[in-house]
Amino acid sequence: MIGGAAAALAPSLAVAGGKTMYGLIGQMKAAPGKRDDLVAILKEGTEAMPGCLSYILALDPTDADAIWITEVWTDKDSHAASLKLPSVQAAIAKARPIIAGFGHRFETTPVGGVGIGSN
């Protein structure tokens, strides 16, 4: 029953500025020994992204070449627009040679939490 109550509340809580927030959680794998380089590239290319409420890079403690990226956006359109920003395009181009692949990827609808202004 708790799950049903949470689902009923989610639409009203998942709104930031009148739009449904958009979230992504994904795993990226670096070429062997290049994880720190990949993290550095992603940090430098993702500083000013309009609509980005949270962008977290985390090391995977079980895989020395993997990172997790957790993102929260004001809406899905803001995320799509970020991929066209010159700084993001430059980071993608610089990182491409050391990206070995991608693991899990999950789209979410954030409903609140510390740091996203909708607790």
What residue spans define the domains of the chain?
2-108
Neighbours of 105 (CB within 10 A): 11
pLDDT at position 10 over 50: no
What mean pLDDT, rounded, does the chain reach?
85
CB 25 within 8 A of CB 73: no
Instruction: Compute the distance between CA of residue 19 and CA of residue 116 in angstroms, rounded to an integer.
Output: 14
CB 59 within 8 A of CB 115: no
CATH topology of domain 2-108: Alpha-Beta Plaits (3.30.70)
pLDDT digits (tens, 9 = 90+) for 75-108: 999 999 999 999 999 999 999 999 999 999 999 9
pTM: 0.81
